[in-house]
Amino acid sequence: MDVYFLGTGAGMPTTKRNVSSIALRLYEERGTFWMFDCGEGTQHQVLRSSLKLSKCEFIFITHLHGDHLFGLPGLLSSRGHQGGTKPLTVFGPPGLGDYMKIVFEVSHTQVPYPLVIKEVDGGVIWSDDTFSVTALPLDHRVPCLGYRIQEKDRPGRLKFELLKEKGIPPGPVYGQLKQGKDVQLPDGEFLFAASVLGESIPGRSVAILGDTRPCDHAVRLARHVNLLVHEATFMEDRVEHAHEFGHSTAKQAARIADRAGVKKLALTHFSSRYKDEEQMDQLLSEAREVFAETYLAEELEAIAVDAE
**pLDDT at site 206:** 98
The answer, yes or no, to whether residue 308 has pLDDT greater than 80, is no
Annotated binding site: 63, 65, 67-68, 140, 211, 269
The answer, yes or no, to whether residue 183 has pLDDT greater than 90, is no
pTM for the complete prediction? Answer: 0.90
The answer, yes or no, to whether residue 192 has pLDDT greater than 90, is no
**Residue 74, number of CB atoms within 10 A of its CB:** 18
| Cα dihedral 71, 72, 77, 80 sign | positive
CA angle at 93 for the pair 89 and 96, rounded to the nearest 5°: 65
**pLDDT at site 140:** 98
Active site residues: 67
In order of their start, the domains of the chain are: 2-154+204-304 (3.60.15.10), 160-196 (no CATH)
Q: What's the mean per-residue pLDDT of the chain? A: 95
Pairing of strands 302-304, 294-296: unpaired
- The string of pLDDT tens digits covering residues 244-256 is 999 999 999 999 9
**pLDDT at site 51:** 97
The answer, yes or no, to whether residue 179 has pLDDT greater than 80, is no
| DSSP character at residue 140 | S
- The string of pLDDT tens digits covering residues 54-80 is 999 999 999 999 999 999 999 999 999
The answer, yes or no, to whether residue 112 has pLDDT greater than 90, is yes
At residue 131, the 3 state secondary structure works out as: strand
Annotated binding site for Zn(2+): 63, 65, 67-68, 140, 211, 269
**pLDDT at site 169:** 82
Instruction: Measure the CA–CA gap between 192 and 184, rounded to whole angstroms.
Output: 9
